[in-house]
Amino acid sequence: MTVNIMSLEYQRLRAPQDHGQVLQSPELSRFSQHFHENRSLLDGLSFPIETSSIGQLQRQAQVELVDLAFAYTSQYRDVEQPSGDLPVIMSGHQPQLFHPGVWYKNFMLARLATEHRAVGINLLVDNDLGNSTQIKVPTGTRQSPAIKIISYDRAGAAQPFEGRTINRQDLWESFGESVAQTISPLVANPIIRTFWPVVMNNAANMGPEYAIAAGRHAMEKSGENQTLEIPLSTLCDTTAFAIFAAHLLENASQLKTIYNEAIAEYRAVHRIRSQAHPVPELGTRDDFTEIPFWLWRREQPTRQTAFVRWTGNEVQLTNFADVDITLPAGQLSQALQDAKNDGVCLRPRALVTTMYCRLVLCQMFLHGIGGSKYDQLNDMIIHRFFGIQPPVYYTFSSTHHLPVGLSNVRPIDLANVKNQIRGLEFHPENHLTSNGQEFSKYQLEKSELLASIPDRHQKSDWHQRLEQCNRNMQPAVDAQRTALLEQQTEFKRQLAINKILGSREFSFCLFPETIVDELIELVGEGRG
Protein backbone atom coordinates (compact mmCIF):
# COMPACT_ATOMS: atom_id res chain seq x y z
CA MET A 1 0.00 0.00 0.00
CA THR A 2 1.45 3.36 -1.06
CA VAL A 3 1.56 6.18 1.46
CA ASN A 4 1.64 9.55 -0.26
CA ILE A 5 1.97 13.02 1.19
CA MET A 6 -0.88 15.51 0.93
CA SER A 7 -0.56 18.94 2.52
CA LEU A 8 -3.38 20.71 4.30
CA GLU A 9 -4.45 24.29 3.72
CA TYR A 10 -6.59 26.28 6.13
CA GLN A 11 -10.17 26.55 4.88
CA ARG A 12 -12.51 29.10 6.39
CA LEU A 13 -16.10 27.89 6.65
CA ARG A 14 -18.51 30.15 8.49
CA ALA A 15 -22.27 29.96 8.83
CA PRO A 16 -24.13 32.69 6.91
CA GLN A 17 -25.16 35.57 9.18
CA ASP A 18 -28.33 36.90 7.57
CA HIS A 19 -31.71 35.29 7.04
CA GLY A 20 -31.95 33.47 3.72
CA GLN A 21 -28.22 33.44 3.06
CA VAL A 22 -26.59 30.16 2.02
CA LEU A 23 -23.16 28.55 2.13
CA GLN A 24 -22.20 26.45 -0.90
CA SER A 25 -18.64 25.23 -1.09
CA PRO A 26 -17.25 24.66 -3.68
CA GLU A 27 -19.41 26.87 -5.89
CA LEU A 28 -22.55 25.08 -7.02
CA SER A 29 -21.76 25.90 -10.64
CA ARG A 30 -18.94 23.36 -10.46
CA PHE A 31 -21.04 20.53 -9.04
CA SER A 32 -21.64 18.70 -12.33
CA GLN A 33 -17.93 18.78 -13.14
CA HIS A 34 -16.97 17.46 -9.70
CA PHE A 35 -19.72 14.84 -9.76
CA HIS A 36 -18.47 13.40 -13.07
CA GLU A 37 -14.84 13.60 -11.90
CA ASN A 38 -15.74 11.67 -8.76
CA ARG A 39 -17.51 9.01 -10.82
CA SER A 40 -14.45 8.59 -13.06
CA LEU A 41 -12.13 8.51 -10.05
CA LEU A 42 -14.13 5.92 -8.16
CA ASP A 43 -14.79 3.79 -11.24
CA GLY A 44 -11.06 3.63 -11.83
CA LEU A 45 -10.07 2.43 -8.36
CA SER A 46 -8.74 -1.09 -8.43
CA PHE A 47 -6.63 -1.62 -5.31
CA PRO A 48 -7.34 -4.96 -3.59
CA ILE A 49 -9.54 -5.18 -0.54
CA GLU A 50 -9.91 -8.65 0.94
CA THR A 51 -10.55 -11.12 -1.92
CA SER A 52 -11.88 -8.54 -4.39
CA SER A 53 -11.14 -4.96 -5.44
CA ILE A 54 -12.50 -1.68 -4.20
CA GLY A 55 -14.42 -1.35 -7.47
CA GLN A 56 -16.21 -4.65 -6.94
CA LEU A 57 -16.94 -3.68 -3.35
CA GLN A 58 -18.47 -0.38 -4.53
CA ARG A 59 -20.83 -2.09 -6.93
CA GLN A 60 -21.91 -4.61 -4.33
CA ALA A 61 -22.31 -2.00 -1.60
CA GLN A 62 -24.31 0.49 -3.67
CA VAL A 63 -26.84 -2.07 -4.85
CA GLU A 64 -27.23 -3.23 -1.26
CA LEU A 65 -27.47 0.37 -0.03
CA VAL A 66 -30.25 1.36 -2.44
CA ASP A 67 -32.28 -1.78 -1.72
CA LEU A 68 -31.99 -1.32 2.05
CA ALA A 69 -32.73 2.40 1.90
CA PHE A 70 -35.82 1.80 -0.23
CA ALA A 71 -37.06 -0.88 2.17
CA TYR A 72 -36.45 1.35 5.20
CA THR A 73 -38.07 4.46 3.72
CA SER A 74 -41.08 2.49 2.47
CA GLN A 75 -42.00 1.79 6.10
CA TYR A 76 -43.32 5.32 6.58
CA ARG A 77 -43.86 6.96 3.16
CA ASP A 78 -44.50 6.04 -0.45
CA VAL A 79 -41.42 6.31 -2.66
CA GLU A 80 -40.55 5.05 -6.09
CA GLN A 81 -38.07 2.19 -6.22
CA PRO A 82 -34.97 3.51 -7.97
CA SER A 83 -32.97 1.66 -10.58
CA GLY A 84 -30.08 -0.33 -9.16
CA ASP A 85 -27.54 1.00 -11.65
CA LEU A 86 -27.92 4.73 -10.84
CA PRO A 87 -25.13 6.67 -9.11
CA VAL A 88 -25.68 7.73 -5.50
CA ILE A 89 -25.47 11.15 -3.85
CA MET A 90 -25.48 11.01 -0.06
CA SER A 91 -25.76 13.26 2.92
CA GLY A 92 -26.17 12.54 6.60
CA HIS A 93 -26.93 13.83 10.07
CA GLN A 94 -27.98 12.65 13.48
CA PRO A 95 -31.76 11.98 13.75
CA GLN A 96 -32.49 15.13 15.73
CA LEU A 97 -34.66 18.25 15.75
CA PHE A 98 -31.96 20.24 13.98
CA HIS A 99 -32.14 23.81 12.68
CA PRO A 100 -33.38 24.71 9.16
CA GLY A 101 -29.83 25.29 7.93
CA VAL A 102 -29.24 21.55 8.24
CA TRP A 103 -32.58 20.82 6.61
CA TYR A 104 -31.54 22.95 3.63
CA LYS A 105 -28.93 20.27 2.88
CA ASN A 106 -31.66 17.62 2.58
CA PHE A 107 -33.58 19.67 0.03
CA MET A 108 -30.36 20.32 -1.88
CA LEU A 109 -29.74 16.57 -1.87
CA ALA A 110 -33.13 16.04 -3.51
CA ARG A 111 -32.50 18.67 -6.17
CA LEU A 112 -29.00 17.47 -7.08
CA ALA A 113 -30.06 13.81 -7.21
CA THR A 114 -32.89 14.69 -9.60
CA GLU A 115 -30.69 16.87 -11.82
CA HIS A 116 -27.98 14.21 -12.11
CA ARG A 117 -30.20 11.14 -12.42
CA ALA A 118 -28.88 9.78 -9.16
CA VAL A 119 -30.37 8.23 -6.04
CA GLY A 120 -30.38 10.68 -3.14
CA ILE A 121 -29.88 8.97 0.22
CA ASN A 122 -29.72 10.62 3.63
CA LEU A 123 -27.80 8.69 6.28
CA LEU A 124 -29.22 8.69 9.81
CA VAL A 125 -26.11 8.74 11.97
CA ASP A 126 -27.57 6.72 14.80
CA ASN A 127 -24.34 5.59 16.46
CA ASP A 128 -23.91 9.05 18.02
CA LEU A 129 -25.07 9.55 21.57
CA GLY A 130 -28.72 10.42 21.97
CA ASN A 131 -28.21 12.22 25.26
CA SER A 132 -30.01 15.43 24.29
CA THR A 133 -33.78 15.09 24.24
CA GLN A 134 -34.66 18.75 24.58
CA ILE A 135 -34.84 21.93 22.54
CA LYS A 136 -34.74 25.63 23.33
CA VAL A 137 -38.07 27.37 22.72
CA PRO A 138 -38.39 31.17 22.76
CA THR A 139 -41.42 32.59 24.49
CA GLY A 140 -42.69 35.80 26.08
CA THR A 141 -43.07 38.94 24.00
CA ARG A 142 -41.00 40.58 21.30
CA GLN A 143 -39.93 43.26 23.79
CA SER A 144 -39.37 40.86 26.68
CA PRO A 145 -38.46 37.41 25.34
CA ALA A 146 -37.23 34.39 27.28
CA ILE A 147 -36.03 30.88 26.53
CA LYS A 148 -37.71 27.76 27.87
CA ILE A 149 -36.21 24.28 27.70
CA ILE A 150 -38.72 21.61 26.69
CA SER A 151 -37.92 17.88 26.61
CA TYR A 152 -39.60 15.18 24.56
CA ASP A 153 -38.12 12.49 26.82
CA ARG A 154 -35.85 11.92 29.79
CA ALA A 155 -32.43 11.25 28.33
CA GLY A 156 -31.34 8.63 30.85
CA ALA A 157 -27.94 6.96 30.51
CA ALA A 158 -25.79 8.01 27.54
CA GLN A 159 -26.70 5.63 24.72
CA PRO A 160 -26.47 5.69 20.94
CA PHE A 161 -29.65 6.71 19.17
CA GLU A 162 -30.02 3.18 17.85
CA GLY A 163 -30.42 1.77 21.36
CA ARG A 164 -32.83 4.36 22.76
CA THR A 165 -36.42 3.82 23.78
CA ILE A 166 -38.93 6.28 25.24
CA ASN A 167 -38.34 6.70 28.96
CA ARG A 168 -41.06 9.24 29.76
CA GLN A 169 -44.24 8.64 27.79
CA ASP A 170 -45.87 11.71 29.34
CA LEU A 171 -43.14 14.02 28.01
CA TRP A 172 -43.26 12.37 24.61
CA GLU A 173 -47.03 12.74 24.25
CA SER A 174 -47.18 16.31 25.55
CA PHE A 175 -44.12 17.63 23.70
CA GLY A 176 -45.87 18.91 20.59
CA GLU A 177 -48.54 20.85 22.42
CA SER A 178 -46.06 22.15 25.02
CA VAL A 179 -43.80 23.52 22.31
CA ALA A 180 -46.69 25.02 20.33
CA GLN A 181 -48.17 26.74 23.38
CA THR A 182 -44.79 28.05 24.52
CA ILE A 183 -43.86 29.65 21.22
CA SER A 184 -47.40 30.79 20.29
CA PRO A 185 -46.93 34.41 21.48
CA LEU A 186 -44.14 34.73 18.90
CA VAL A 187 -45.03 32.21 16.14
CA ALA A 188 -48.74 31.60 15.63
CA ASN A 189 -48.64 28.40 13.52
CA PRO A 190 -45.43 26.47 14.20
CA ILE A 191 -44.89 23.38 12.12
CA ILE A 192 -44.73 21.30 15.32
CA ARG A 193 -48.55 21.19 15.32
CA THR A 194 -48.72 19.02 12.20
CA PHE A 195 -45.27 17.46 12.55
CA TRP A 196 -45.51 15.91 16.02
CA PRO A 197 -48.67 13.82 15.43
CA VAL A 198 -46.85 12.22 12.48
CA VAL A 199 -43.85 11.54 14.73
CA MET A 200 -46.02 9.93 17.39
CA ASN A 201 -47.67 7.73 14.78
CA ASN A 202 -44.25 6.59 13.51
CA ALA A 203 -43.11 5.84 17.05
CA ALA A 204 -45.47 2.87 17.18
CA ASN A 205 -43.04 1.00 14.92
CA MET A 206 -39.64 2.60 15.54
CA GLY A 207 -37.48 4.25 18.19
CA PRO A 208 -38.05 7.89 19.17
CA GLU A 209 -35.32 9.53 17.10
CA TYR A 210 -36.08 7.36 14.07
CA ALA A 211 -39.70 8.51 14.39
CA ILE A 212 -38.56 12.13 14.47
CA ALA A 213 -36.45 11.62 11.34
CA ALA A 214 -39.30 9.83 9.56
CA GLY A 215 -41.70 12.65 10.39
CA ARG A 216 -39.27 15.24 9.10
CA HIS A 217 -38.61 13.21 5.93
CA ALA A 218 -42.34 12.83 5.29
CA MET A 219 -42.68 16.62 5.38
CA GLU A 220 -40.08 16.93 2.62
CA LYS A 221 -42.45 15.10 0.28
CA SER A 222 -44.28 18.37 -0.32
CA GLY A 223 -41.29 19.37 -2.40
CA GLU A 224 -41.61 16.30 -4.65
CA ASN A 225 -38.68 14.90 -2.73
CA GLN A 226 -37.87 11.31 -3.74
CA THR A 227 -34.82 10.84 -1.53
CA LEU A 228 -34.39 7.74 0.61
CA GLU A 229 -33.11 7.43 4.16
CA ILE A 230 -31.31 4.70 6.04
CA PRO A 231 -29.78 4.31 9.53
CA LEU A 232 -26.03 3.84 9.72
CA SER A 233 -26.58 0.85 12.01
CA THR A 234 -28.39 -0.94 9.17
CA LEU A 235 -25.42 -0.44 6.86
CA CYS A 236 -23.08 -1.75 9.56
CA ASP A 237 -24.82 -5.10 9.30
CA THR A 238 -23.94 -5.52 5.61
CA THR A 239 -21.27 -7.68 4.04
CA ALA A 240 -19.72 -4.67 2.30
CA PHE A 241 -19.20 -2.84 5.58
CA ALA A 242 -17.68 -5.91 7.18
CA ILE A 243 -15.18 -6.14 4.31
CA PHE A 244 -14.28 -2.45 4.62
CA ALA A 245 -13.96 -2.64 8.41
CA ALA A 246 -11.82 -5.78 8.16
CA HIS A 247 -9.46 -3.93 5.80
CA LEU A 248 -8.94 -1.19 8.38
CA LEU A 249 -8.45 -3.70 11.19
CA GLU A 250 -5.89 -5.61 9.13
CA ASN A 251 -3.89 -2.40 8.73
CA ALA A 252 -4.61 -0.95 12.17
CA SER A 253 -1.01 -0.02 12.98
CA GLN A 254 -0.48 1.88 9.72
CA LEU A 255 -3.89 3.52 10.02
CA LYS A 256 -3.08 4.70 13.55
CA THR A 257 0.19 6.32 12.41
CA ILE A 258 -1.39 8.12 9.44
CA TYR A 259 -4.47 9.10 11.46
CA ASN A 260 -2.42 10.68 14.24
CA GLU A 261 -0.01 12.45 11.89
CA ALA A 262 -2.94 13.97 10.02
CA ILE A 263 -4.51 15.16 13.28
CA ALA A 264 -1.24 16.81 14.33
CA GLU A 265 -0.99 18.61 10.99
CA TYR A 266 -4.61 19.70 11.14
CA ARG A 267 -4.14 21.15 14.64
CA ALA A 268 -1.01 22.99 13.56
CA VAL A 269 -2.66 24.54 10.49
CA HIS A 270 -5.81 25.51 12.40
CA ARG A 271 -3.88 26.50 15.56
CA ILE A 272 -5.84 24.11 17.76
CA ARG A 273 -4.38 23.35 21.18
CA SER A 274 -7.10 21.03 22.44
CA GLN A 275 -6.16 17.37 22.37
CA ALA A 276 -9.82 16.48 21.77
CA HIS A 277 -10.31 18.50 18.57
CA PRO A 278 -11.08 17.85 15.84
CA VAL A 279 -10.91 14.27 17.15
CA PRO A 280 -8.70 12.56 19.75
CA GLU A 281 -5.63 10.72 18.54
CA LEU A 282 -5.66 6.94 18.44
CA GLY A 283 -3.71 5.39 21.27
CA THR A 284 -2.51 2.07 22.60
CA ARG A 285 -3.44 0.09 25.66
CA ASP A 286 -1.20 -2.73 26.80
CA ASP A 287 -0.21 -4.14 23.41
CA PHE A 288 -3.55 -3.35 21.77
CA THR A 289 -3.96 -0.70 19.06
CA GLU A 290 -6.92 1.65 19.19
CA ILE A 291 -9.04 1.75 16.02
CA PRO A 292 -11.53 4.49 14.99
CA PHE A 293 -14.59 2.42 15.82
CA TRP A 294 -17.03 2.02 18.71
CA LEU A 295 -17.69 -1.42 20.13
CA TRP A 296 -20.51 -2.64 22.38
CA ARG A 297 -23.03 -5.43 22.87
CA ARG A 298 -26.57 -5.00 21.62
CA GLU A 299 -28.09 -5.85 25.00
CA GLN A 300 -25.92 -3.18 26.67
CA PRO A 301 -25.72 -0.28 24.16
CA THR A 302 -23.01 1.80 25.79
CA ARG A 303 -20.35 3.10 23.41
CA GLN A 304 -16.84 1.88 24.18
CA THR A 305 -13.56 2.44 22.38
CA ALA A 306 -12.42 -0.47 20.19
CA PHE A 307 -8.92 -2.02 20.26
CA VAL A 308 -7.27 -4.80 18.26
CA ARG A 309 -4.26 -7.05 18.77
CA TRP A 310 -2.80 -9.44 16.23
CA THR A 311 -1.36 -12.75 17.40
CA GLY A 312 -0.32 -15.12 14.65
CA ASN A 313 -3.36 -15.94 12.52
CA GLU A 314 -5.86 -14.45 14.93
CA VAL A 315 -7.02 -10.97 15.84
CA GLN A 316 -8.35 -10.08 19.25
CA LEU A 317 -11.03 -7.39 19.29
CA THR A 318 -11.95 -5.80 22.62
CA ASN A 319 -13.39 -2.73 24.29
CA PHE A 320 -11.89 -3.69 27.68
CA ALA A 321 -15.42 -3.90 29.04
CA ASP A 322 -18.03 -6.36 27.81
CA VAL A 323 -16.56 -7.38 24.43
CA ASP A 324 -13.44 -9.49 24.08
CA ILE A 325 -13.48 -11.83 21.11
CA THR A 326 -10.86 -13.65 19.05
CA LEU A 327 -11.39 -13.82 15.28
CA PRO A 328 -9.59 -15.77 12.53
CA ALA A 329 -7.45 -13.38 10.49
CA GLY A 330 -7.95 -15.26 7.24
CA GLN A 331 -11.73 -14.84 7.31
CA LEU A 332 -11.99 -11.57 9.20
CA SER A 333 -14.96 -10.02 7.40
CA GLN A 334 -17.02 -13.18 7.80
CA ALA A 335 -15.96 -13.41 11.44
CA LEU A 336 -17.13 -9.81 11.99
CA GLN A 337 -20.52 -10.71 10.54
CA ASP A 338 -20.72 -13.78 12.76
CA ALA A 339 -19.90 -11.61 15.77
CA LYS A 340 -22.66 -9.22 14.71
CA ASN A 341 -25.11 -12.11 14.70
CA ASP A 342 -24.01 -12.81 18.29
CA GLY A 343 -24.94 -9.28 19.34
CA VAL A 344 -21.58 -7.52 18.93
CA CYS A 345 -21.95 -4.01 17.48
CA LEU A 346 -18.97 -2.54 15.64
CA ARG A 347 -19.71 1.03 14.59
CA PRO A 348 -17.47 3.53 12.78
CA ARG A 349 -16.54 6.85 14.33
CA ALA A 350 -17.19 10.05 12.37
CA LEU A 351 -14.17 9.98 10.06
CA VAL A 352 -14.55 6.33 9.11
CA THR A 353 -18.27 6.86 8.53
CA THR A 354 -17.71 9.47 5.83
CA MET A 355 -14.62 7.64 4.57
CA TYR A 356 -16.81 4.60 3.88
CA CYS A 357 -19.55 6.72 2.32
CA ARG A 358 -17.21 8.66 0.05
CA LEU A 359 -15.09 5.73 -1.12
CA VAL A 360 -17.63 2.92 -1.28
CA LEU A 361 -21.25 4.01 -1.04
CA CYS A 362 -21.67 7.10 -3.20
CA GLN A 363 -20.29 9.28 -5.98
CA MET A 364 -20.76 12.53 -4.03
CA PHE A 365 -21.22 13.34 -0.36
CA LEU A 366 -22.89 16.51 0.92
CA HIS A 367 -21.71 17.85 4.26
CA GLY A 368 -22.85 20.52 6.64
CA ILE A 369 -20.29 22.88 8.13
CA GLY A 370 -19.25 20.61 11.02
CA GLY A 371 -18.79 17.50 8.89
CA SER A 372 -16.95 19.48 6.26
CA LYS A 373 -14.36 20.61 8.77
CA TYR A 374 -13.86 17.01 9.85
CA ASP A 375 -13.39 15.86 6.29
CA GLN A 376 -10.56 18.30 5.61
CA LEU A 377 -8.72 15.97 7.97
CA ASN A 378 -10.25 12.91 6.35
CA ASP A 379 -8.91 13.94 2.94
CA MET A 380 -5.37 13.58 4.25
CA ILE A 381 -6.08 10.21 5.86
CA ILE A 382 -7.74 8.85 2.71
CA HIS A 383 -4.88 10.07 0.53
CA ARG A 384 -2.13 8.70 2.71
CA PHE A 385 -3.74 5.43 3.76
CA PHE A 386 -5.26 4.37 0.44
CA GLY A 387 -2.76 6.22 -1.77
CA ILE A 388 -5.51 7.85 -3.85
CA GLN A 389 -6.84 11.31 -4.55
CA PRO A 390 -9.88 11.82 -2.28
CA PRO A 391 -13.19 12.39 -4.08
CA VAL A 392 -14.58 15.91 -3.80
CA TYR A 393 -17.33 16.62 -1.27
CA TYR A 394 -19.66 19.60 -1.02
CA THR A 395 -20.71 21.77 1.91
CA PHE A 396 -24.21 23.22 2.18
CA SER A 397 -25.82 25.26 4.93
CA SER A 398 -28.19 28.20 5.29
CA THR A 399 -29.38 30.59 7.96
CA HIS A 400 -32.98 31.16 8.96
CA HIS A 401 -34.39 33.38 11.68
CA LEU A 402 -37.77 32.99 13.28
CA PRO A 403 -40.29 35.52 11.90
CA VAL A 404 -40.43 37.56 15.11
CA GLY A 405 -39.53 41.02 13.80
CA LEU A 406 -35.87 41.16 14.70
CA SER A 407 -34.32 44.59 14.99
CA ASN A 408 -31.88 45.61 12.26
CA VAL A 409 -29.49 47.01 14.89
CA ARG A 410 -26.04 45.44 14.53
CA PRO A 411 -23.11 45.35 16.97
CA ILE A 412 -21.28 47.80 14.72
CA ASP A 413 -24.10 50.31 15.29
CA LEU A 414 -23.53 50.11 19.03
CA ALA A 415 -19.78 50.47 18.51
CA ASN A 416 -20.35 53.60 16.40
CA VAL A 417 -22.47 55.19 19.13
CA LYS A 418 -19.81 54.41 21.73
CA ASN A 419 -17.21 56.06 19.49
CA GLN A 420 -19.40 59.12 19.14
CA ILE A 421 -19.78 59.37 22.94
CA ARG A 422 -16.02 59.05 23.27
CA GLY A 423 -15.61 61.77 20.65
CA LEU A 424 -17.74 64.16 22.73
CA GLU A 425 -15.45 63.57 25.70
CA PHE A 426 -12.10 63.90 23.98
CA HIS A 427 -12.91 66.06 20.96
CA PRO A 428 -15.86 68.27 21.97
CA GLU A 429 -14.60 71.09 19.71
CA ASN A 430 -15.64 68.99 16.68
CA HIS A 431 -19.24 68.91 17.88
CA LEU A 432 -19.89 72.53 18.88
CA THR A 433 -23.03 74.02 17.35
CA SER A 434 -24.07 77.64 16.89
CA ASN A 435 -25.40 77.56 20.43
CA GLY A 436 -21.93 76.81 21.68
CA GLN A 437 -20.25 80.05 20.64
CA GLU A 438 -19.58 80.99 24.27
CA PHE A 439 -17.24 78.01 24.42
CA SER A 440 -15.26 79.02 21.35
CA LYS A 441 -12.50 80.48 23.51
CA TYR A 442 -11.80 77.01 24.88
CA GLN A 443 -11.84 75.66 21.34
CA LEU A 444 -9.27 78.28 20.35
CA GLU A 445 -7.10 77.57 23.39
CA LYS A 446 -7.11 73.84 22.62
CA SER A 447 -6.20 74.54 19.00
CA GLU A 448 -3.21 76.62 20.15
CA LEU A 449 -2.12 73.88 22.57
CA LEU A 450 -2.23 71.26 19.82
CA ALA A 451 -0.20 73.53 17.57
CA SER A 452 2.69 73.65 20.04
CA ILE A 453 3.10 70.25 21.65
CA PRO A 454 6.09 70.33 24.07
CA ASP A 455 8.63 67.54 24.52
CA ARG A 456 7.84 64.81 27.00
CA HIS A 457 9.72 66.46 29.90
CA GLN A 458 7.40 69.50 29.83
CA LYS A 459 4.22 67.74 28.77
CA SER A 460 2.48 67.29 32.16
CA ASP A 461 1.28 70.89 32.52
CA TRP A 462 0.36 71.02 28.81
CA HIS A 463 -1.73 67.83 29.13
CA GLN A 464 -3.59 69.15 32.16
CA ARG A 465 -4.49 72.35 30.31
CA LEU A 466 -5.69 70.28 27.32
CA GLU A 467 -7.94 68.16 29.53
CA GLN A 468 -9.31 71.28 31.21
CA CYS A 469 -10.26 72.69 27.80
CA ASN A 470 -12.18 69.48 27.07
CA ARG A 471 -13.98 69.69 30.43
CA ASN A 472 -14.86 73.35 29.90
CA MET A 473 -16.56 72.51 26.59
CA GLN A 474 -18.61 69.59 27.95
CA PRO A 475 -21.73 71.68 28.76
CA ALA A 476 -21.94 72.58 25.07
CA VAL A 477 -22.35 68.90 24.08
CA ASP A 478 -24.50 67.69 27.00
CA ALA A 479 -27.63 67.47 24.90
CA GLN A 480 -25.85 65.42 22.23
CA ARG A 481 -24.40 63.15 24.93
CA THR A 482 -27.81 62.58 26.48
CA ALA A 483 -29.30 61.63 23.12
CA LEU A 484 -26.40 59.28 22.36
CA LEU A 485 -26.58 57.64 25.79
CA GLU A 486 -30.28 57.01 25.27
CA GLN A 487 -29.51 55.56 21.83
CA GLN A 488 -26.78 53.38 23.33
CA THR A 489 -29.21 52.02 25.93
CA GLU A 490 -31.79 51.24 23.25
CA PHE A 491 -29.22 49.59 20.99
CA LYS A 492 -28.05 47.40 23.87
CA ARG A 493 -31.65 46.39 24.57
CA GLN A 494 -32.35 45.57 20.93
CA LEU A 495 -29.14 43.57 20.62
CA ALA A 496 -29.99 41.62 23.77
CA ILE A 497 -33.39 40.78 22.26
CA ASN A 498 -31.78 39.79 18.97
CA LYS A 499 -29.34 37.56 20.83
CA ILE A 500 -32.27 35.64 22.29
CA LEU A 501 -34.58 35.56 19.30
CA GLY A 502 -32.07 35.77 16.44
CA SER A 503 -30.28 32.44 16.88
CA ARG A 504 -29.96 30.30 13.75
CA GLU A 505 -29.93 27.20 15.98
CA PHE A 506 -33.65 27.03 16.77
CA SER A 507 -35.19 23.74 15.65
CA PHE A 508 -37.06 23.63 12.36
CA CYS A 509 -40.18 22.51 14.25
CA LEU A 510 -40.55 26.01 15.74
CA PHE A 511 -40.90 27.70 12.36
CA PRO A 512 -44.17 28.30 10.51
CA GLU A 513 -45.19 25.62 8.03
CA THR A 514 -44.05 27.95 5.26
CA ILE A 515 -40.44 27.04 6.13
CA VAL A 516 -40.72 24.04 3.78
CA ASP A 517 -41.70 26.26 0.84
CA GLU A 518 -38.95 28.73 1.76
CA LEU A 519 -36.33 25.98 1.69
CA ILE A 520 -37.60 24.62 -1.61
CA GLU A 521 -37.50 28.11 -3.10
CA LEU A 522 -34.03 28.76 -1.68
CA VAL A 523 -32.73 25.53 -3.20
CA GLY A 524 -34.27 26.49 -6.53
CA GLU A 525 -32.52 29.86 -6.47
CA GLY A 526 -29.08 28.24 -6.13
CA ARG A 527 -28.52 27.82 -9.84
CA GLY A 528 -25.77 25.38 -10.74
For position 275, what pLDDT does the model report?
Answer: 86
List the one residue out of 101, 165, 78, 93 whose CA is nearest residue 128: 93
Cis peptide before 348 (omega within 30 of 0): no
Q: How large is the C-alpha radius of gyration of the chain?
A: 30
Beta strands in 255-368 (DSSP E): 284-285, 288-297, 305-311, 314-318, 324-328, 344-348, 364-367
Residue 8 Cα distances to 269, 305, 388, angstroms: 7, 28, 15
Question: pLDDT category, 1, cuts 50, 70, 90?
Answer: very low
- The 10s digit of each residue's pLDDT in 53-84 is 888 899 999 999 999 999 999 999 988 899 87
Distance CA 496, CA 484 (A): 18
Element (H, E) at 228: strand 228-231
- The 10s digit of each residue's pLDDT in 372-382 is 988 999 999 99
| Neighbour-count burial for 268-304, b at 16+ CB within 10 Å, e otherwise | eeeeeeeeeebbeebeeeeebbbbbbbbbbeeebbbb
Please give the angle made by the CA atoms of 57, 63 and 64, to the nearest 5 degrees: 85
More confident residue, 300 or 510: 510
Strands 344-348 and 324-328, how do they pair? unpaired
- The 10s digit of each residue's pLDDT in 243-278 is 999 999 999 999 999 999 999 999 998 888 888 888
- CA 36, 38, 40, 46: dihedral to nearest 10 degrees? -170
Element (H, E) at 108: helix 100-115
For position 3, what pLDDT does the model report?
Answer: 40
What's the chain's average pLDDT?
Answer: 92
Domain assignments of the chain as residue spans, ordered by start: 134-207+506-525, 411-501
The answer to whether residues 381 and 1 touch, using CB atoms and an 8 Å cutoff, is no
